[in-house]
Amino acid sequence: MKLKRLDIPRPVLVLIIGGFIQSTGNSLMWPLNSLFMHNVLGRTLTEAGTLLALQSTVSLLGQFLSGFLADRFGPKRVMIIGLIGAILSVGTIGIFPEWRVYVPGFILFGLAQAFIFVPLNALIHAVWPEGGRRGFNLLYVASNAGVAIGTAIGGMIAQVSFSLIFSLNAVAFFIYLLLVLIGVSNRKAPVHLIPPKQLTEKLTKDSRFKVLLALGGGLFFAWGAYIQLVTILPVVMNQLGFSLFAYSVLWTLNGVFIVTLQPLINWVIKAWAQSFKRQFYLASLFLTIGYVIFLFKLPYVSYIVAMLILTLGEMLIMPAVPAAAAQLAPPGKTGAYQGIIGGFTSGGRMIGPLLGGMMYDYGGGSSVWLLAITFMGASMVMFFIYGRVVQRFYLDQQTEPSELA
């Protein structure tokens, strides 16, 4: 009865609960990967950075591939493959925490994650298309609640055993696998409901593809800026005399803000940002303000304020982009569209650290935030183009613009 009042399908609740568990387990590990490679395995930071870049490259390719496979075989089947790959990769590292095992395991884990999260977004839309952005937002909140818990306790567990970190992550993915196997059916658009032209039409010739490219371009630049918070901010804060604990507190607050500020974000969306394009404009503005605050090297409280503002921007943009892509996708191409959006995300996460590191080496911390602000300017331009082309698309289709426009 309670599920009926909430009006959330049971498979969506299963995916959300599983997303929380998986995110908690994964957040034990991801902030500590570089530290594990350097302090435990005795590798240089150059080796660690090279492996991270290689994993991102493999993940980028996996995003595209998993999207097309999800359309062909159904998102649940592809997601199961990804979950099994994640269990095997991090579980093996937990048993054999050695460099020769860690390298292939870490790369496989990047590929496995692409095979999980792209079909996951397609599956959310398949089981609850009438939910619009709600399903994506609920998954986003649950995942970030897991991040807040995982990052808060990961350091304490690592002091006991790094192997335990990887083993617990494997257990979390195993639980998620069981939930998906038991609680989610394999959803794929029935072939007889898809127009024959759409089955054979090349993706790039689809009239919606220009809209998708503009949407992905905005996300690419936004991630290019946002990834500096993970790669460069801890170095800058350490240089300014702040402890690693002070930096980790910011990410714990990020998760807390995401969970507690949902009513505020919902009010903002209903009052002003009903359309996705307005949501993206406002998100870009918040993110830019956050990076501007970092420019002035103010006391620690300013970093908390900046993280609050950045989190508001993140809450407006991160769950909305896959929701917009899902609503934009024609029948039979939801997975491909999610894969392309995931590729833009991975691209931003790849180029951001490279350019950010170069800017830091040659110009210091302030130049990195100038780069982030420049990225956000480019992101705003791409979202403006998105707003224009999506409106033109609906005019060409002679239909009423949805919340996309």
Q: What is the pLDDT of residues 281-327, one digit of tens each?
A: 999 999 999 999 999 888 999 999 999 999 999 999 999 999 999 98
Instruction: Report the C-alpha gap between 284 and 378 in whole angstroms.
Output: 10
Could you tell me the pLDDT band of residue 129, with boundaries at 50, 70 and 90? confident
Q: Which residue has the tokens 């990967």?
A: 33
Flag whether pLDDT at 190 surpasses 50.
no
Q: How many CB atoms lie within 10 A of CB 28?
A: 26
Q: What is the DSSP string of 156-212?
A: HHHHH-HHHHHHHHHHHHHHHHHHHHHH-------GGGS-HHHHHS-GGGSTTHHHH
Q: How far apart are CA 16 and CA 30, in angstroms?
A: 20
CATH class of the structural domain 191-398: mainly alpha
C-beta of residue 151 within 8 angstroms of C-beta of residue 252: yes
Instruction: Examine the pLDDT at 252 and tell me if it is beyond 50.
Output: yes
Mean pLDDT, the chain, integer: 86
CB 208 within 8 A of CB 198: no
Rounded mean pLDDT of 221-234?
A: 89
Query: How far is it, in rounded angstroms, from Cα 51 to Cα 99?
Result: 11
In the chain, where the domains are located: 7-188, 191-398
Label residue 346 by pLDDT band (50, 70, 90). confident
Give the CA distances from residue 73 to residues 38, 215, 241, 268, 330, in Å, rounded to whole numbers and listed in that order: 40, 26, 52, 38, 17
Sequence-ordered strand ranges (E) for 208-357: none
Q: What is the pTM of this model?
A: 0.83
Does residue 243 have a pLDDT over 60?
Answer: yes
The answer, yes or no, to whether residue 195 has pLDDT greater than 50, is: no
Reduced to 3 states (helix: H, G, I; strand: E, B; else coil), residue 126 is helix
Asked, colleague to colleague, whether 7-188 and 191-398 share their fold, the answer is yes
What fold does the segment set 7-188 form as a domain? Answer: Growth Hormone; Chain: A; (1.20.1250)
Q: How confident is the model at residue 154 (pLDDT cuts 50, 70, 90)?
A: confident
Exposed/middle/buried for residue 154 (C-beta within 10 Å: 0-12, 13-18, 19+): buried
- Whether the CB-CB separation of 123 and 180 falls below 8 Å is answered with no
